[in-house]
Chains A and B, each alone.
Chain A
Amino acid sequence: MVSKAASTAIPANQVPKLNYLNNGHTLKSWLLTTDHKRIAVLYLISVTFFFFLGGFFAMLIRLELLTPQGDLMQADTYNKVFTMHGMIMVFFFLIPVVPAVLGNFLVPLMIGAKDLAFPRINLLSWYLYVVGGLLITHVMLTGGVDTGWTFYTPFSTDYTNTKIVEAGLAVFIAGFSSIFTGLNFIVTIHRMRAPGLTWDRLPLFIWANYATSLIMILGTPVVAITIVLVAVERLFHLGIFDPRLGGDPLLFQHLFWFYSHPAVYIMILPSMGVVSELIACSARKRIFGYKFVALSSVAIAVFGFLVWAHHMFVAGISLYAAMIFSFLSFSVGVPSAVKVFNWTATLYKGSISYATPMLYAFGFIGLFTMGGLTGLMLATIGIDVHVTDTYFVVAHFHYVMVGGVLMGYLGGLHFWWPKMTGRMYPEAWAKLSALLVFVGFNLTFFPQFILGYVGMPRRYWQYPPEFQTLNVLSTAGASILAAGYLLPMIYFVWSLRYGAIVTDPNPWAAAGLEWKTSSPPPTFNFDETPVVTWEAYNYDEIPPWERRAPVAK
C-alpha cells in the first residue's frame, strides 16, 4: 500500500530526467514562465496564501461569536471582518482555486496538448489575480470595507465611508483574471485536443471545466460593469442605483446576482469534475452514465443563469417572478442529483480503495448532498422568507462551498500531488487530516442550521444568550477544521523534500491521459503527441494499483 512505502525518503538528486520543475531554477524562470504547470504552481502558492488569510478572518468571526456579548470586537470591526472573510474567500479563493490550480495543471495534460492555447494570457491571468489580491490586502490594511462581499446599494454607494472603490477595483481586476482563464480553457478544449480525443472521450474534469469556463466568460463581465457603475455612482454621484435620483437598488441586486449566483457553479463544478475522476479511479470502474454526468455539468451552467432572483425573494420582486425563480431553482437540483446518483451507482460493485483522495470524495458526496438539499429548502419561497439572512443560509452555502468545493479540491490535490511533484504525501497523516476536516466541518456548520432555523440572524457581532451552546460547538468545530487544514499545508511542504519519490509515473494506475507521461511531466508534457484510441475511464483494461508498486521502496 501507498502509506507503508511512503515513509522511505529518497534524496531529490535521484529524480531522473529533465522536467518542468527543474527546467530553470531562477526566480525569473518562474515569474515569466508561460508553462501552464508552473503557472498552476504559482496559483497554488498564492491561492493558499489567500485561503489562510480568509481562514484567519473566519477564526476571528468564530472567536467573537463564542460569547453572546461583543468582547473581541464591536459592530464596526465585526462588519469589516466578515466582509474581508467573504471577499477573500469568494473572489480570491473559491472562484480561482480548482480551475486555476488543478485546471491549469491538468487541462492540457488531460487532452494531450503541449500547453493552453494562450500561454501568455494565462500568465497575465495570474498577474491580474495577484494585483487584485494585493489591492484587496491593501484595502484590508488601510481600513477595510463593511458592506459584506455583496456591495449592496445604496449602502455601498451613499452611506458607508469605507474603501468601496478600491475593493471594487480589486474584484474587477480579479474578475478579468477569471475571464481570461475561462476563455483560455474553452479555446484549448475546442482546438487543442489530441487526435482521437473526441468530445465523448473527454474526462469529466474537462467537461466540468468547460462548463465552468462558459459561466466565467458569460457572467463575470456583468459583475464587472456592475462594479464599475457602483464606483462611478460613488465617485461622481450619479444616480444609477440611488432611489432618490430615480435609480433602483433592486437593479443592482439583479445585476450582481446575475453573476454571483452562477459564480457558485464556477466554484462547485470543477470540484464535481475532480470527484468524478477520483471515484472512477478509486472504484476501478467507468463512471456510470458518462454522458449524463458530462451533460449535467453543461445543464448546471445553463440553468445556473436562470435562478439568480432566489437571492431576492424578500427584496421586493413580484410574487410571480419569485414563483418562476423558485421553480427554476428547483430545476438545478435535477442535474446536480444526476451527478450524485451516478457517482453512487459507479461505486456499486466497484473494488473501492480508501486512500485519502477517495475519503475526500466521500466527504464531498455527503456534504454536497446536504448543501444541495438545504438549497432546495431555500428555493421554496415560504421557507426562504422564514430563514432569509439567518445562519440557516450561512450553513447551507458553507456546506456547498466548504463541504463541496474544498473537499473536492483537497481530494484532487492529494490525487494529483505525485503528478505535480513526483513525490507522495504521507498517507497516514493525510487520512487523519481528511478525518479532522470532515468532523470539524460538520461540528462547525451543522449547529448553524439549527441556529438559523430558530432565528439567529447572520452578520451580527452579538446574540441572545440562548444561542450560546450551539455557537460554542460551532467555534469548537472551527478549531478542529483549522487543524485539519493546517496539517496538509505542513505535510505537503514536508513531502517536497522528504516524500517518497514515485517510481511509477502512474502511482494510482489511473486511466487519464495525464498519467501517460512522466511524473512530474516534462515542460512540453508529452514527448510525442498521444493518439487516443480508447474511451474515458477504461478501468476494466487496467489492473488495480494494489498489484503494482506505486512508490520507491
Chain B
Amino acid sequence: MEHEAHNPALLHHFADAQQQKNAASLGMWLFLVTEIMFFGGMFCAYLVYRLAHFNAFAAGSQQLSILLGATNTAVLIISSVTVVLAVKAAEAGKRKVLVGYLVVTVLLGMTFLVIKGFEYREKFEKHHVPGATFNFTDTFDDNGKQIPVNPKEAELFFSLYFAMTGMHALHMIIGCGLFSVLAVLAWKGHYTPGYFTPIENAGLYWHLVDIIWIYLFPLLYLISRHS
C-alpha cells in the first residue's frame, strides 16, 4: 500500500486524518471508562467495608502520613500540568520543549513512586502489612482516647490500602514507561503539529491515573481520622 504523501501517520483504513484522530480519541476515552469500572470494584469494596467496620478503618487511616500523601498529591497535580504543557508543545511543533516536558513528567511520576515506596517501607516496619506478621496495637486517637478496634478489621483496611494504592502504582509505572517511549519517539521527530495523537492520548491516561489518586487520597488518608 502506498501511503498518502502528506501524512505518513495516516493508516489506510481511515478516510482522512481527522477521522483517524477522532477514532483514536474516542477509543482512549472508552478505555478510560473501563479503567474507572476496574477501580470502581475496589472503591465499592472500600466503601462497603468502611461502613461495616468504621472504627477499624478510622484507626487504620490514622497510621497513614498526611504529609507524604499530600506531597504525592502535589507531585501528581504538577505532573498533570507538565503533561498539558507537553501536549501544547506538541501542538506548536516545539520538539525539544515537548521532550523536556515528557521527561519532567516521567521524573515526577518516579518521585511519586519513590515517596510511595517510603510509605510502604514504614508499613513493613510497623507490621501493618496484611499476612502472618500483621500486628495492630496502635488503637489510640490523637487525644489519647482508646478506640476499640478488631485487628482483623484493621487488617482488612490495610488489605484494601495495598490493593488500591498498589494497583494505582502499577498504573503509574505503566504511565512512566509510556511517556519514556513517547519521549524517545518525540526526540526522533515522530510527532508534528498535524499528528500528535499518542501524546494527547497518553496525557488523557495520565490525567485519569491522577484523578484516581485524587479520590484515593481523601478516602484513605483524610476522612474521619478522628472517629
Measuring CB to CB, which residues of chain A are less than 8 angstroms from any residue of chain B? 113-115, 117-119, 121, 179, 183-184, 186-188, 190-192, 217-222, 224-226, 228-229, 232, 236-240, 244-248, 251, 255, 524, 529
Query: In the complex, A221→B34 CA distance in Å?
Result: 6
- Complex CA gap A515/B56 in Å reads 64
List of A residues within 8 angstroms of B37 by Cβ: 217-222
19 A-B pairs besides A113-B13, A221-B40, A244-B152 with CB distance below 8 A are A118-B23, A183-B27, A183-B30, A187-B23, A187-B30, A192-B13, A221-B34, A222-B37, A222-B38, A224-B38, A228-B167, A237-B132, A238-B130, A239-B152, A240-B160, A245-B156, A246-B49, A246-B156, A524-B13
Q: Are B42 and A225 in contact (CB under 8 A)?
A: yes
A119–B13 contact, CB under 8 A? yes
Q: How far is the CB of B208 from chain A (nearest CB, A)?
A: 13
What are some 23 contacts across the A-B interface (CB < 8 A)? A186-B26, A187-B23, A192-B19, A217-B33, A217-B34, A218-B33, A221-B37, A222-B37, A222-B38, A222-B40, A225-B42, A229-B41, A229-B42, A236-B131, A237-B131, A238-B130, A238-B156, A239-B155, A240-B160, A240-B163, A244-B152, A245-B155, A247-B49
Q: Does B190 contact A (CB under 8 A)?
A: no
User: For the complex, what is the distance from the CA of A186 to the CA of B14, rounded to whole Å?
Assistant: 16
Chain B residues within 8 Å of A236, by CB? 130-131
CB-based nearest B residue for A255: B41
Known contacts A114-B12, A191-B26, A237-B130; is A251 also within 8 Å of B45 by CB? Answer: yes
Main secondary structure of the interface of A (DSSP, over half): helix
Q: How many residues of B contact A (CB 8 A)?
A: 41
Residues of chain B touching chain A, judged by Cβ–Cβ distance below 8 Å, are 11-15, 19, 22-23, 26-27, 30-31, 33-35, 37-42, 44-45, 48-49, 52-53, 56, 130-132, 150, 152-153, 155-156, 159-160, 162-163, 167
Given contacts A192-B23, A240-B156, contact A255 B44 (CB under 8 A): yes
Least CB distance from A187 to B in Å reads 5
Q: Point out the residues of chain B lying under 8 angstroms from A244, CB to CB.
A: 152
Tell me the smallest distance from the CB of B139 to a CB of chain A, in Å.
15
Q: Which B residue sits closest to A243, measured CB to CB?
A: B152
Contact, CB under 8 Å: A245 / B27: no
State the Cβ distance, A74 to closest chain B Cβ, in Å: 35
Q: When the two chains form the complex, which single residue of B26, B34, B56, B167 contacts A190, counting CB atoms closer than 8 Å?
A: B26
In the A-B complex, the 8 residue pairs with the smallest Cβ-Cβ separation, listed nearest first, are A221-B38, A225-B41, A114-B13, A238-B159, A115-B13, A221-B37, A246-B153, A246-B156
> Most chain-A Cβ atoms within 10 A of its Cβ — which of B27, B33, B167?
B27
A408 to B11, CA, bound (A): 34
Q: Are B38 and A246 in contact (CB under 8 A)?
A: no
Question: Chain A contacts of B48 at CB under 8 A?
Answer: 248, 251
